[in-house]
Amino acid sequence: MKPLLEVKDISVEYVGEKRNQALEKVSFDVKSGEILGIIGESGSGKTTLAYSILNLLPESAKLKGSIIFKGSIITEFKENKLCYLRGKEIGIIPQDPAASFNPVFSVGYQFNEFLKVKGICKDAEERLVLMEEALNKACLWDVNKILNSYPHQLSGGQLQRAMIALVIAAKPSLLIADEPTSSLDVTIESQLVHMFLRLRDEMGFTIIFITHNLGLIEALCDRVVVLYQGQVKEMADKASIIAAPRDEYTKSLVVSFREVGE
Amino acid sequence: MDLLDIQNIKKYFKQPWGINYALDGVDMSIKEKATTALVGESGCGKTTLAKTILGFYRPDSGKILFKGEDITDVKTNNKLVRENIQIVFQNPFLSFNPRYTAFATLYEAVRAMNNISKKEVRGFLVESLNSVGLGEEFFFRYPHQMSGGELQRLSIARALINKPKIVILDEPTSSLDISTAVNILKLLAKLQQEALLSYFFISHNLKLVKRIAHYVFVMYYGKIVEYGLKEQIYGFPRHPYTKLLLDACEYKMKDYPASGSKHKQGCVFREICPHSKDICGNEPEKTEIEPNHFVFCHFV
């Protein structure tokens, strides 16, 4: 079976006062229905990789290589065609939810607008049902309070779950989660892990899960890509990476994870 | 006698939507030359307690004793508190003046306590920076020129420079990468042995706490629910909330009902607790189930 997403020899360079090679010849593929983990430390290029898939990089970034999604080369797409993909076909959950909601509109208004603009649901009442369903899936039960609140009135955890609800309401074929839990505490983190597993098992989502926490990879992912200073160091099944890492960097990562754990 | 004794501290905040019982009768003690950890989820009052100890907040009632001396009102005992209790904050990027170099930051800290001339101070500062693993190249750097891990080391150097007895560590590693976090924890353990420090370690991550702590206190919405030696808390957790936190660390916990109850009366955990019964409406008694291991629950 053909993979859902193929990333071939992607290189990203930030051009400015100082040249900065953020990614160097990164290749991997994502199969339909799997959770692929991308792990690396701060500055290893994880977020650059996530944003380059949707071509959301700043202008100073120069991208080379090709990305193939459902058989078409999306790196050659024009902006309007990409716009169609964003949200509807490929959803992205950013790291900091507070920065991704507009502070002057209520969460419900923004959610409604997203569904309307993307043409996901034409009828206003249906949209309301859709929003409620999505919020429940993301473990938010007090739907009216969430929808009528402004972003600053909600906690970080609630806002992050509202963002997840917004993204999954569009039922994208590919979900990119960029460290969705790193600003949350363990009780919420644990709930979200099970939410992602349910999304995959019950609704057939394909997920790219970006993190620096090996524990999350262990709990959630099927395969892992290890990123270090912009290069792919290792790519294998979860079990073989954790039990028998081959690369030096992966080894040190596993060691420091074990040291914290025991 | 314990180094720091916290007795029945209460701190309420009035909010537009009601009263927030941030600390609701907290009893705690910090032992000498050991690490006491406080764990709990976001918003349960961990940082409020740290700030109350330092006198940033004035408690509504209760007492804080340092070596038997009352330090609840910081104004009367300011010097004693500042000399003996220091803090390392969660976010290293927000805890420095952006216009001060590493050297200037530490110099200011030294000057606040001692009368020391600029010439004499240099050797002292170099030694302090070296002890946290910052070499010569960092002396004249500004905060924005340093990484999170390096800044956190500087933060530790600043806390230790006047030789305090207690250092409050408010989630010192939660904004750092795992490999950096491990190095910081190693450094903290080394410094504790050298200077015979007492740590008050605040965290939501029970895995980190297991590595560093001697005593563990578990807090839930303004109240301590269980405390004891590390081995007891990890080996035989008795309170349902402690068990839930331990599960969450392993990502085993699936469902967690919406935010917890904030009742004034009775067990704070009763709305979420799987064993909840009518009796939980009454205040649970402190029960000693084995030496040093205390639980606040009706069902132990």
How many cross-chain Cβ pairs, A to B, lie less than 8 Å apart? 83
pLDDT value, residue A12: 92
Per this entry, what is the length of chain A? Answer: 262
SS3 (DSSP) at A57: coil
| DSSP assignment letter at A110 | H
The answer to whether A14 and A20 are in contact (CB under 8 A) is yes
Residues of chain A positioned with their CB less than 8 A from the CB of B180: 41
With tokens 């509807």, the residue in question is A88
- Verify whether the Cβ–Cβ distance A184 to B42 is below 8 Å: yes
Quote the Cα angle for B56-B44-B10, to 5°: 50
Query: What are the chain A neighbours of B249 within 8 Å (beta carbons)?
Result: 186, 190
Q: How far is A228 from chain B (nearest CA, A)?
A: 13
Averaged over A163-171, what is the pLDDT?
92
Q: What is the mean pLDDT, run by run of 10 residues, along chain B of 300 residues?
A: 90 83 90 92 87 91 91 85 91 90 91 80 88 88 89 93 92 82 90 92 88 92 92 92 87 65 72 83 88 89
Contacts for B242 with CB less than 8 Å, ≥ 6 apart: B218, B225, B226, B233
Contact criterion met (CB < 8 Å) for B182 and A212: no
Residues of B in contact with A42 (CB under 8 A): 148, 177
Looking at residue B258, its pLDDT comes to 52
Q: Evaluate whether B227 touches B215 at the Cβ level (below 8 Å).
A: yes
pLDDT tens string B24-59: 889 999 999 999 999 988 878 888 999 999 989 999
Q: Which positions 11-70 of A are in contact with B (Cβ < 8 Å)?
A: 41-42
Residues A187, B41: C-beta atoms closer than 8 Å? yes
DSSP assignment of B103-159 equals HHHHHHHHHHH----HHHHHHHHHHHHHHTT--GGGTT--GGGS-HHHHHHHHHHHH
pTM of the entire predicted model? 0.82
Q: Nearest chain B residue to A137 by CA: give it.
A: B255
Residues of chain B contacting residue A188, judged by C-beta atoms under 8 Å apart: 41, 256
What are the residue ranges of helices labelled H in A31-123? 46-53, 79-88, 97-100, 107-117
Q: CB count, 10 Å around CB of A171?
A: 17
Query: Tokens at residue A183, please?
Result: 């600003």
Given B148, B245, B255, which is nearest A186 (Cβ)? B245
